[in-house]
Amino acid sequence: MSNGFFTALLIFLTISDVAVLIFFGIDKRKAVNRQWRIPESALLKAALVGPLGAWIAMRVFRHKTRKAKFRLLMPLFLLIRSLILVALQRIG
């Protein structure tokens, strides 16, 4: 695997994390304002793509922190992504 590919992957993942952070922030704002909410299934799918952004959003916005599935899955998603990145780096 080329160094350029790995760099592009890291850029993509960073953008994904920022997008998910914003997505969670929008849902938190909607919750505070008692507006229509983003479904939890959509938030979980987004968190699978951007687990760091979801984890940061949970801490910064204090959002979904009482939901057990979010508290358990965010670290798991982060661990899985980290392991994949380490494996890809070693292959390259």
Domain ranges for the chain, please list them.
Answer: 3-91
For 47, residues 6+ apart whose C-beta sits below 8 A from its C-beta are 20, 53, 54, 70, 73, 74, 77
Position 2 scores a pLDDT of 78
What are the pLDDT digits (tens) for 11-70? 999 999 999 999 999 999 999 999 999 999 999 999 999 999 999 999 999 888 888 899
Position 67 scores a pLDDT of 87
Task: Decide if pLDDT at 1 tops 80.
Answer: no
- Look up the pTM and report it: 0.89
User: How many helices (H) and strands (E) are present in the chain, helices listed first?
Assistant: 4, 0
Q: What gap in Å lies between CA 92 and CA 70, rounded to an integer?
A: 32
